């Protein structure tokens, strides 16, 4: 199955909500059930990208080109609930780096062996893995010119770990990071113990208190104050876009041969032509990138500037 990884950086805080709860935050963000690490559900991600294309191309307006509508429905799925799978699939957007205030470089991008090793395994390009790090210690993959062996993350102190004794250790992963994530600031990357990382992430997501004002009285409405949780600006996540194997013949891997089961008897010549024009994954991916653009919005509160992300 062909696929491509996408990396996104939060330009403004992201609220991909999981609904109201009785916890200390009224509206928390989505998290992995097994690890409690923040994520963005694939359905949220795909829906936001699809919505951008919907508005950009003015789908279903009277003067919209019919071919544009058909291509949109084939790539993202029909708005009318047609029983036909979309050409593209999306995974959850998972966390790779989380920003935390530091005494150096304004902030650091923290990560942990669990996240880095998962990313390496997802890519399946190298075999190197990050060793376990002791609690209260940190590792830098890149050259650290600072002679001070301590860093402050918020009010916590971390000592530099000595697990990288050889010159070659961590080099493959550092090269991979530089090649995959454009413009990443190497000096900001800090690897912490898994437990320390999760503790900091859970403590330092943004929690914003909001209030609903009654338009007629000018005072607080009955609902009163409520709190929302956000992934902070500078957070880096990644997700994978993959081809739907239904559109290809199961008997061979020839992109130019579409599965006859995907075509329907009532498909007109125009729709058949559009299906044939999307001959391979690369063509569909090109369409996605052009329509999605480099900057788009994810999650709630778009009208107050939240959830703006950039592909990197």
Which residues lie below 8 Å from residue 220, measured CB to CB, with a gap of 6+? 211, 212, 213, 214
Distance CA(150)–CA(161), nearest Å, equals 10
Map residue 19 onto helix, strand or coil: coil
Distance CA(96)–CA(111), nearest Å, equals 6
Nearest to 232 by CA among 98, 31, 41: 98
- Provide the residue ranges of all domains of the chain, joining segments of one domain with +: 3-206+231-311
pLDDT at 266: 66
0.85 cut: is pTM over it?
A: yes
pLDDT at 178: 93
Distance CA(94)–CA(32), nearest Å, equals 9
Nearest to 10 by CA among 307, 224, 254: 307
Are 111 and 97 in contact, with CB atoms under 8 Å apart?
Answer: yes
pLDDT at 177: 94
Q: How many CA atoms lie within 13 A of 220 on its CB side?
A: 7
Which residues lie below 8 Å from residue 210, measured CB to CB, with a gap of 6+? 225, 226, 227, 228
Q: To the nearest 10°, the Cα dihedral for 99, 285, 75, 177? A: -20
pLDDT tens digit string along 149-172?
899 999 999 999 987 755 566 889
Q: Identify the residue with better confidence: 196 or 19.
A: 196
Distance CA(300)–CA(282), nearest Å, equals 31
Are 180 and 7 in contact, with CB atoms under 8 Å apart?
Answer: yes
Average pLDDT of the chain, as a whole number: 88
What Rg, from alpha-carbon coordinates, does the chain have? 23
* Segment holding 180, helix H or strand E: helix 171-180
Map residue 145 onto helix, strand or coil: coil
Are 101 and 152 in contact, with CB atoms under 8 Å apart?
Answer: no
SS in 3 state form for 184-250?
A: CCHHHEEEECHHHHHHHHHHHCEEEEEEEECCCCCCEEEEEEEEEEEECCCCEEEEEEEECHHHECC
Rounded mean pLDDT, 212-230: 80
pLDDT at 256 > cutoff 60: no
> What is the band of 277 on the pLDDT scale with cuts at 50, 70, 90?
confident
pLDDT at 228 > cutoff 70: yes
- As beta bridge partners, residue 90 has 241
pLDDT tens digit string along 74-107?
899 887 766 678 899 999 999 999 999 999 899 9
The backbone region for 306, taken as left when phi is positive above 0, alpha when psi lies in -120 to 50, beta otherwise, is beta
- As beta bridge partners, residue 160 has 138
pLDDT above 90 coverage of the chain, percent? 61
Distance CA(77)–CA(70), nearest Å, equals 10
80-94, 120-134, 245-259, 283-297: least confident range: 245-259
């Amino acid at each position: 199955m062909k696929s491509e990884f996408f990396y996104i950086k939060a330009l403004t805080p992201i609220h991909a909500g999981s609904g109201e709860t009785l916890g200390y935050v009224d509206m928390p963000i989505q998290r992995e059930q097994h690890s409690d690490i923040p994520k963005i559900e694939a359905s949220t991600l795909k829906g936001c990208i699809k919505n951008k294309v919907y508005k950009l191309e003015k789908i279903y307006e009277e003067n919209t080109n019919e071919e544009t509508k058909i291509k949109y429905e084939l790539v993202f799925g029909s708005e009318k609930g047609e029983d036909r799978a979309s050409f593209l699939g999306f995974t959850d957007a998972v966390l790779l780096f989380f920003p935390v205030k530091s005494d150096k470089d304004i902030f650091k991008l923290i990560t942990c062996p669990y996240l880095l090793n998962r990313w390496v395994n997802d890519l399946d390009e190298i075999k190197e893995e990050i060793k376990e790090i002791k609690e209260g210690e940190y590792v830098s993959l890149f050259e650290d010119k600072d002679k001070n062996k301590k860093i402050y993350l918020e009010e916590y102190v971390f000592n530099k770990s000595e697990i990288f004794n050889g010159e070659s250790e961590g080099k493959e992963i550092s090269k991979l990071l530089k090649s995959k994530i454009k413009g990443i600031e190497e000096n900001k990357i800090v690897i912490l113990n898994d437990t320390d990382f999760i503790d900091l992430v859970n403590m330092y997501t943004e929690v914003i208190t909001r209030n609903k004002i009654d338009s007629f009285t000018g005072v607080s409405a009955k609902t009163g104050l409520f709190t929302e949780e956000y992934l902070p600006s500078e957070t880096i996540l990644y997700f994978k876009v993959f081809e739907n194997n239904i559109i290809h013949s199961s008997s061979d891997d020839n992109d130019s041969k579409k599965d006859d089961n995907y075509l329907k008897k009532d498909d007109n010549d125009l729709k058949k032509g559009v299906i044939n024009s999307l001959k391979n994954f690369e063509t569909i991916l090109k369409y996605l990138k052009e329509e999605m653009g480099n900057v788009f919005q994810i999650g709630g509160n778009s009208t107050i500037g939240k959830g703006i992300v950039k592909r990197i």
